[in-house]
Amino acid sequence: MMPYEEALDIVLSSCQNLSTEKVFILDALNRVLAEDVVSQEDRPSFDNSAMDGYAVRWEDIKEATEGSPAVLKLVGEMPAGAESSFKVQRGTAIKIFTGAPIPEGADTVVPVEYTETKDGLVFIKVSLKEGANIRRKGEELKAGDVVLKKGTIIRHYEVGILASLNKINVEVSRRPRVAILSTGDEIKDIGEPITKPSQIRTSNNYTLLAGVLSAGGIPYHLGIVQDDPEKLKSILSQMEDYDVFITTGGVSMGEKDYIKILASEVGVDVKFHKVRIKPAKPILFGTYNGGKGLFFGIPGNPVSCAMAFDLLVKPALLKMQGAKDYLPKILKARIKRDFYRRDAERREFVRAVWWWEKDTLVCDFSQKLQSHMLTSYVDANCYLVVREGVKEIKEGEEVDVILF
């Protein structure tokens, strides 16, 4: 059976970059930048005050103390947005507000809390370093600097940065079109009546729809299809309309598990079926549409579905969009309890939670270890990785955790 790394490699090396399009920056949220974004100007674009206070000449205040303050004549006021018409001569000060341009002649700003005013005079009760509390032109960025690199995933911070650069529309990757189909005679969609005790409510459709959205894709809900080869085949034959096609259920060894055979029949070039992981072992992956489309046949157990999405599908969706950072993030943590399992053949990804304890990252795993228990994700924020061959992990040992 194929190890996880090899399966992930095959998936990633099958990803082809999607075309790009220009969108309004707010529509770029969660999507991948397809151009380098360059600053057109210095930032800040002028020297300005970092504090509310007084703009002064440093030589006037360099020896000021509480007991022997410097006494300066107040000659004007500079609110933010004002144009400077003042000149700060020796012995004078200008009242200044955060963000206002530094008036000519001034080289230091004294915060208001170190001052007092009386009869048109300012008493400065502290000496500061020359240049204190001035934000310098260009100290953050120079004109021509690359601010955001191609391949960046756009979060709300990047949206703000783009706005501050007056970049109104930005080139991003097209969103992958992802079809989601569940299979199984027993599965009912939300809102549908459950008429027999053997029927169950779907979670997988919605786990995947939401997962695809969060990874920047456009999910297409193809609903639930019975374990009926003819019906299944007719839906699978629409595969070419999508960049990625995901099915859940019907990929194991049961007699009703038709996905493998049908996938090949409709033109999927199957690259692997079964990976040495727990859960989601029977996962199937292949390409279609001349290698452009990715097909994932994920087993139906809800945890298998969520985990296969996180560890194989999501990295692929990000990579297709050209993201630099497409791999799951791994940290080291100390385990809080003994972990034991009988069968150590596969690499297991156990729902877990990490947190800081003093200055150590620690983790604990869910009590619900089985793959039908989706509520094992409640309060979980990572997978504890239990490697092949490892039966037992002792409290306090260092383990890998993969962040959600």
CA distance 77 to 93: 9
297 scored as a contact of Mg ion (CB under 5 A): no
CB-CB neighbours of 297 under 10 Å: 28
Q: Shortest approach of Mg ion to residue 310 CB, angstroms?
A: 21
Interactions with ligand AMP, residue window 23-42 (CB under 6 A): none
Token pair for 174: 């097209």
Do 74 and 117 form a contact (C-beta atoms < 8 A)?
yes
Q: Per CB under 5 A, which region of 25-33, 107-115, 243-251, 371-379 contacts Mg ion?
A: 243-251
Residue of 204, 247, 321, 366 that binds ligand AMP (CB under 6 A): 204
Residue of 205, 321, 366, 376 that binds ligand AMP (CB under 6 A): 205
Q: Per CB under 5 A, which region of 113-121, 178-186, 229-237, 350-358 contacts Mg ion?
A: 178-186
Q: Shortest approach of Mg ion to residue 201 CB, angstroms?
A: 14
CA distance 246 to 254: 19
CB-CB neighbours of 256 under 10 Å: 14
Residue count, binding to ligand AMP (CB under 6 A) = 20
Q: Shortest approach of Mg ion to residue 195 CB, angstroms?
A: 18
Residues in the chain: 404
182 binds, among Mg ion, ligand AMP, none (CB under 5 to 8 A by kind): ligand AMP
374 φ/ψ angles, rounded to the nearest 5 degrees:
-65, -25
Fill in the amino acid letter for 241: D
Nearer to Mg ion, 44 or 250 (CB): 250
Number of alpha carbons in the 13 Å side-chain half-sphere of residue 191: 2
200 binds, among Mg ion, ligand AMP, none (CB under 5 to 8 A by kind): ligand AMP
92 binds, among ligand AMP, Mg ion, none (CB under 5 to 8 A by kind): none
Q: Shortest approach of ligand AMP to residue 159 CB, angstroms?
A: 34
302 scored as a contact of ligand AMP (CB under 6 A): yes
Residue of 103, 211, 249, 286 that binds Mg ion (CB under 5 A): 249
Nearer to ligand AMP, 253 or 367 (CB): 253
368: CB partners within 8 A, 6+ apart: 351, 375, 376
Strands (E), 97-217: 108-111, 115-118, 121-124, 134-135, 146-148, 169-173, 177-183, 187-188, 200-201
Bond prior to 44 in cis (omega within 30° of 0): yes
Per-residue x/- track, 219-248, ligand AMP (CB under 6 A): -----------------------------x
Give the bridge partners for 124, in sequence order. 70, 115
Number of alpha carbons in the 13 Å side-chain half-sphere of residue 295: 29
279 binds, among ligand AMP, Mg ion, none (CB under 5 to 8 A by kind): none
CB-CB neighbours of 197 under 10 Å: 6
Nearer to Mg ion, 92 or 301 (CB): 301
Residue of 14, 39, 84, 301 that binds ligand AMP (CB under 6 A): 301
Do 276 and 344 form a contact (C-beta atoms < 8 A)?
no
- Chain residues binding ligand AMP by CB under 6 A are 182, 184, 186-187, 200, 202-205, 248-252, 254, 299-302, 372
- Chain residues binding Mg ion by CB under 5 A are 184, 249-250, 300
